[in-house]
Structure 1
Amino acid sequence: MPRLQEIHANLVDRLQEARDQGWLGEVAAIETTMAAAAQKLEAMRERAAQPSTVHLGMPDFRTTAGRLTSDC
């Protein structure tokens, strides 16, 4: 996530430069890339907020522990 935040910050700088230079095609491309980066960052934040462990419970062997087979 830190790397993507760094990329997004760099895109902000590049967007300003493209606007200053009047590079309209570059402005559109950078805005599209920034939107995708922002969407990915939001998804990463949502994923980080979710619990990372799952409680599976404890297996219950009481019902099978005392069984005998009739094959003996």
Structure 2
Amino acid sequence: MEIRDSLLDRIAEAEKEGWLGEIEGLHVSLADAESRIDQIDSAPGSVAINLGMSRKAPAHPAQKEGAGSLRQSRDDQQ
């Protein structure tokens, strides 16, 4: 969707500036982007699926484990 909006903005700018060749190329790109969006929207199973994943932070963050591993490797070097 952002690509389509960007192309529309660029087409408006090209029309304002009179860049005829640019306008034609942007319209081709816009048609292709809209075609791809339509394909994605019409694809079977293209609805969002809730995977049931929790948004809560883990009880034991990985950073604590990593810090201990870093200390251990420093001790090993000495």
Q: Tell me, yes or no, whether TM beats 0.5.
A: yes
Percent identity between matched residues is 33
1:51: Cα distance to partner?
A: 3.7
Give me the CA root mean square deviation.
1.2
CA-to-partner distance for each residue in 1:15-39, whole Å, 9 max, x for gaps?
A: 0000000000000000000000000
1:36 maps to amino acid: D
Unaligned runs of 5+ in 1: 53-72
Count residues with an aligned counterpart: 46
Report the counterpart of residue 20 of structure 1 in structure 2. Answer: 16
1:41 maps to amino acid: I
- The 4+ residue runs of structure 1 with deviation greater than 3 A are none
Structure-2-length-normalised TM-score: 0.56
1:15 maps to amino acid: I
Greater relative contact order: 1 or 2 (C-alpha under 8 angstroms, separation 6 or more)?
1
